[in-house]
Structure 1
Amino acid sequence: MLLLSAFVVALAGLSSAKPLSSKRWNDVSLKHRWVEIPRGWEFHSTPPEDHLLEMRIGLKQDRLEELISSLYEVSDPAHEKYGQHLSKEEVDALVAPHPDSIEAVEAWLEHHGINPADAHFRSAGGEWITIHVSVAQAERMLDTKYGVYYHAASGSSVVRTMGYSLPTELHSHIDVITPTTYFGTFHSMRSTSFIQPRPNSLVDDSASFAAEISPLAVPASCGTTVTPACLRALYNTTSYVPKATATNKLGIAGYLQEFANDADLQTFFRTFRTDAVGATFTHVQVNGGQNTQSDPGVEANLDIQYTEGISFPTPNVYYSTGGSPPFLKDTFTTTNTNEPYLDWLNFILNQTTIPQTFTTSYGDDEQTVPQDYAISVCNLFAQLGARGSSIMFSSGDEGVGGGDCLTNDGTNRKIFQPAFPASCPFVTTVGGTTRVNPEVAVSFSGGGFSRYFAQPSYQTASVAPFLTALGTKFAGLFNASGRAYPDVAAAGNGFQVVIGGRTSSVGGTSASSPTVAGVISLLNDFRISEGKAPLGFLNPLIYSTAKSGFTDILSGSNPGCGQAGFTAAAGWDPVTGLGTPDFLRLQALVA
């Protein structure tokens, strides 16, 4: 942790009372502002001036370009540094802010009567500082006005601002400040799963569906009634037995007060994977996250039952990320920002040892996330990848976009709506399929092109043929030069999930992401057991030497925004990416 010397602190304290110092901090310019209140939200009231906020300040990382360069080096199978992942200490050193940034930010805090040494939290690299400030103080610091905004669909309220400014000098030192213009919360962000009508074939929960299925003859029933046996056969993992269980781990990031239920997992094992009965997983509670076993979550149970169902006996870790207390109009106490990605990422990156594989099944429309916030979060995923973790995200369940698909920049244009964090170039995004023999794209599979992130070089050669074949179709509705997603796909329809002791059918790319994560975790197990490094950030590998390890999906589309959407085709496409994983082929390719 970098701090100013006592001399500099004292000097800053003296100068804060001088007109020169005031001029330094009074020259402000806009950092970010919404043209209109984000859709779904409405202004409710003015918060009390003494309502406390947990303000996070994201400082610019002095050697970020070097971190990204290192990420690509250790993730590119053609590079001599492939697999030489960075340690926590090496990553922390690369993301540390420049001393000038620390001096400027700490001097600014002192100007507002805040002692930097009293910061509530500092990340290990020093690039994130958390302080507690009142609404009145935050308004003075950011030259803004806060309001209480209400989200009717989720029933949640937040204290946010429509825009904020910073002293001009600080724009070169600060990436983002929260809570400000990001309105996403635990309740308003979307889980990418949903309950489906129950297949007629499942008439008795006590019936056993645990029998192994030959990969040479995956029954048609697996196209509508998906079990671990179906997936293990479909993606060729049935014969693989994990060996590196003392080292290899699989992590699931949970939000929305979703709790993975221990009893339901055992019922699931007794029904669908009898050799795993008795196996457990680790509960980790982050930032007030809970573990309410009396309230099993559809999303949480789906995730843990299928990561375990594929990766057993690999140790699984479920992270319950909370935000407490919620904002109530008649209760004004210290409130968390309710910005889940930051809470979870800062926690994970502060750990010395982390799982080699992660899956997450939540997201927002990209345009609802301020770009500076999205970039800051995406760069945190780059840190995870540099440390050797493979990160899967579901691509979303609204095809090329849900709702009216109108822009929120005041022009009200209808365009395709990419999802975030699915659009981050440092994660592996997973679309959905359905049926078997062959698999086809499922209609809700999220996919498209980012408007925030440029198309990374690792995928250009794979994406170009699709764009060439598409021609002028959908011209103006998407950004052809943006990061293209999904990267891969897996089944996402008819998953049999035990919830409260009963089996329900669940669909969504929330099912696809943990499925791919389970397969990748087995590949990591194989490499670790062979004395090799885990795969880490997957995309440079899967778009190059491992491309042939995926089964191309050739039909189906992802309609949305009142349009037919993109169509699956030979090679990469923005519905199913490169296709679905074949473990045995991939195992040979990563050996």
Structure 2
Amino acid sequence: MLWSFLLFLGAAPPLGVFANPLATKRWSDLVEKHSWAEIPRGWEYVRSPDPEHILEMRIGLKQNKINELISSLYQISDPKHDRYGKHLSKQEADALVAPHPDSAEAVESWLSDHGFKTDDITFRSGGGEWIVIPMTVSQAEAMLGAKYELYRHSLSSSYVVRTLSYSLPRELHNHINMVSPTTYFGTLRSMKATHFIQSNSFGEEKGFTLSPEAVPPSSCATQITPACLKVLYNTSGYVPQATDVNVLGIAGYLDEFANRADLQTFFTAFLPEAVGTSFDTITVNNGGDNQSDPGVEANLDIQYTEGMSFPTPNIYYSTGGSPPFNPDSETPTDTNEPYLDWLNFVLSQDTIPQTITTSYGDDEQTVPNDFAVSVCNLFAELGVRGTTVLFSSGDLGVGGGDCLTNDGTDTVLFQPDFPASCPFVTAVGGTVGINPEVAVDFSGGGFSRYFPTPDYQVEAVNSFLEGLGDTFSGLFNSSGRAYPDVAAQSENFIVIIGGEAFLVGGTSASSPTTAGVISLLNDFRLSNGQSSLGFINPLIYANPGGFNDIVSGSNPGCGTQGFSAGIGWDPVTGLGTPDFLKLQAIVSA
């Protein structure tokens, strides 16, 4: 969408040619948009940045009809509604998220007053609600009433140029959702990639074969392969048919590259019929594809999405945006918003994979509320267009570390994960063991403090809360969006990395596994002339019988034993692990 203000700005004189006193007064009435009480934990002040340091400023305008889009999402995702499965086209979704003309006019005037011209602006969304404008630190400070500093994340050695507070002209609070980079300190290098290497275990696994019994062999209790998962989740007998339409996507970050040679080694050992086939890589925002540098996360994801969904086409999105930052550089470009870049890229495409999995997350409290809501609404756009979005729920139970709040009060509270806490994604927790599966003790789960409990899960969550009683009273928001929604195996996954086999664990394993099952369900529907599933949460909460209920285990954290798994939904394993055959019967209606 091209705004009218392109012509307006194109005709504007350079900054300083003349000044409009009324316009200047209009934009000098600054009111705080967001601030932190203290430097976010894990970050330390380094020094003031060069005033000429370049920030790629992203401005998210309020979407004129976002409530209509969300209402459509719930109707389209409700199996009892007559709009069920009637997903919106790109053009229909773009029309709902486009900014109101008044918002466009206000931002036009503001940018013009600060001397920006047509060539300075890039549109990052089909609806025109996201724009990117490179500007210097000194320009950003003047526009936003902010003071930018250089900060370092001690554990990951990430550097960012951020401010502890920023403001907008009073009038623009009604027109702009967020501006970034400002107060969101998280970068993917400081976020939690939800995986960990358990051991190097190459050797015996290459000869691993699944016995013909209808239950997993005992070796699946200590070594997970695609064959184990197919038996556990009842997909063994299904052969995909809609491979000309159905696609499974993996969102990758952090210069994590999915290695094709390792995939062939994996296929040779565990899926011989797939040898010789591969996946597509799409690079976003200068993402790479270095085949000499295989990533643990990337290989885990692609080997198990391929292992579960073959021969369904897979796409690995390699998203840049977190380049090494040289704190001594005078004018490097700060581009640490890969979530926004990836989402805007995918939403700008005419076709999107029907299933997408991502395995990164951060403490919700470290994400400014305006940023979280804006990103969450982008996931709603994916859902309304027919895509199921899955996120791992995290590997820190109800919270890691001291669990102190960052609002200046240092209160101990359970710490939910974002984006798992977004109500428009399907969050996947973790299990371990077979016959029975139990909750793994690191499975992330809890209740959002940003998003309220959505209608689709009220009944299930209330039932859990009634059984919980006063336990952990005050430590979590009982009226918040609860997660995870479902779960899957999360330990002892055999992954080939650089030609060697490792055992890898984490809910990073659970999410691609579940994505593989959902992709097969999408294949089934598409091959029968039905639509893709899209946003599945209303469907699955209405049909909990499609899952294997996990009734034991807990997710300790914050100095507590955490929540306990039990009959029905719980904030450790959600509704349980998927049973493909039961779900197939449910989605065939």
Quickly name the TM-score band, shorter chain normalised: over 0.9
Counterpart contact for 2:9–2:117, Cα < 8 Å: no
Alpha-carbon shift at residue 18 of structure 1 (Å): 2.4
Residue in structure 2 matching 1:562, options 559, 562, 586 = 559
Pairwise mapping of residues 195-206 of structure 1 onto structure 2 (< 5 A)?
195-197=197-199, 203-206=203-206
Runs of 5+ consecutive residues of structure 1 not aligned to the other structure: none
Higher mean alpha-carbon deviation, 405-414 vs 120-129, is at 120-129
Partner of 2:226: 228
Q: Secondary structure at the match of 1:291?
A: coil
Counterpart contact for 2:36–2:164, Cα < 8 Å: yes
Partner Cα separation in structure 1 for residue 66 and residue 424 of structure 2: 14
Partner Cα separation in structure 1 for residue 420 and residue 124 of structure 2: 27
Counterpart contact for 1:110–1:116, Cα < 8 Å: no
Check if 1:81 corresponds to 2:90.
Answer: no
Q: Deviations over 1:363-397 (max 9, x none)?
A: 00000000100000000000000000001100000
Partner of 2:273: 275
**Distance change >3 Å, CA 273–CA 6, structure 1 → 2:** closer
4+ long deviations beyond 4 Å: 5-16
Alpha-carbon shift at residue 343 of structure 1 (Å): 1.1
Partner of 2:96: 94
- Relative to the length of structure 1, the TM-score reads 0.97
Alpha-carbon shift at residue 228 of structure 1 (Å): 0.5
Give me the identity figure in percent. Answer: 65
Higher mean alpha-carbon deviation, 217-226 vs 252-261, is at 217-226
Alpha-carbon shift at residue 441 of structure 1 (Å): 0.3
Pairwise mapping of residues 92-171 of structure 1 onto structure 2 (< 5 A)?
92-116=94-118, 118-171=120-173
Residue in structure 2 matching 1:433, options 415, 431, 435 = 431
Check if 1:347 corresponds to 2:349.
Answer: no
What amino acid sits opposite 1:571 in the alignment?
G
Q: Secondary structure at the match of 1:197?
A: strand
Partner Cα separation in structure 2 for residue 185 and residue 6 of structure 1: 31
What amino acid sits opposite 2:235 in the alignment?
T
**Distance change >3 Å, CA 65–CA 16, structure 1 → 2:** farther
What amino acid sits opposite 1:102 in the alignment?
A
What amino acid sits opposite 1:560 in the alignment?
G
Partner Cα separation in structure 2 for residue 188 and residue 395 of structure 1: 17
What amino acid sits opposite 2:364 in the alignment?
E
Partner of 2:447: 449
Residue in structure 1 matching 2:63, options 47, 61, 64 = 61
Partner Cα separation in structure 1 for residue 581 and residue 484 of structure 2: 22
Alpha-carbon shift at residue 7 of structure 1 (Å): 9.0
Q: Secondary structure at the match of 1:391?
A: strand
Partner of 1:237: 235
Alpha-carbon shift at residue 547 of structure 1 (Å): 1.7
What amino acid sits opposite 1:61 in the alignment?
Q
Partner Cα separation in structure 2 for residue 116 and residue 288 of structure 1: 23
Check if 1:327 corresponds to 2:329.
Answer: no
Check if 1:571 corresponds to 2:568.
Answer: yes
Check if 1:472 corresponds to 2:470.
Answer: yes
Higher mean alpha-carbon deviation, 6-15 vs 149-158, is at 6-15
Partner of 1:176: 178
Counterpart contact for 2:323–2:335, Cα < 8 Å: no
Partner of 1:33: 35
What amino acid sits opposite 1:549 in the alignment?
G
Pairwise mapping of residues 351-390 of structure 1 onto structure 2 (< 5 A)?
351-390=349-388
Alpha-carbon shift at residue 329 of structure 1 (Å): 1.4
Counterpart contact for 2:187–2:322, Cα < 8 Å: no
**Distance change >3 Å, CA 229–CA 84, structure 1 → 2:** same
Residue in structure 2 matching 1:483, options 481, 484, 490 = 481
Partner Cα separation in structure 1 for residue 322 and residue 312 of structure 2: 32
**Distance change >3 Å, CA 232–CA 213, structure 1 → 2:** farther
Counterpart contact for 1:52–1:332, Cα < 8 Å: no
- Relative to the length of structure 2, the TM-score reads 0.97
Q: Secondary structure at the match of 2:491?
A: coil
Check if 1:406 corresponds to 2:404.
Answer: yes
Q: Deviations over 1:78-109 (max 9, x none)?
A: 00010000000111000000000000011000
Q: Deviations over 1:156-202 (max 9, x none)?
A: 10111111000000000000000000111121111000011356xx6
The number of equivalent residue pairs is: 586
Alpha-carbon shift at residue 274 of structure 1 (Å): 1.1
Partner of 1:548: 545
Counterpart contact for 2:3–2:128, Cα < 8 Å: no
Q: Deviations over 1:248-302 (max 9, x none)?
A: 0000001111111000000001111111111100011111111111111111000
What amino acid sits opposite 1:553 in the alignment?
I
Counterpart contact for 1:178–1:337, Cα < 8 Å: no
**Distance change >3 Å, CA 103–CA 334, structure 1 → 2:** farther
**Distance change >3 Å, CA 496–CA 353, structure 1 → 2:** same
Residue in structure 2 matching 1:256, options 241, 254, 257 = 254
Partner Cα separation in structure 2 for residue 6 and residue 536 of structure 1: 35
Partner Cα separation in structure 2 for residue 271 and residue 371 of structure 1: 46
What amino acid sits opposite 1:250 in the alignment?
L
Residue in structure 2 matching 1:463, options 461, 464, 474 = 461
Alpha-carbon shift at residue 124 of structure 1 (Å): 1.1
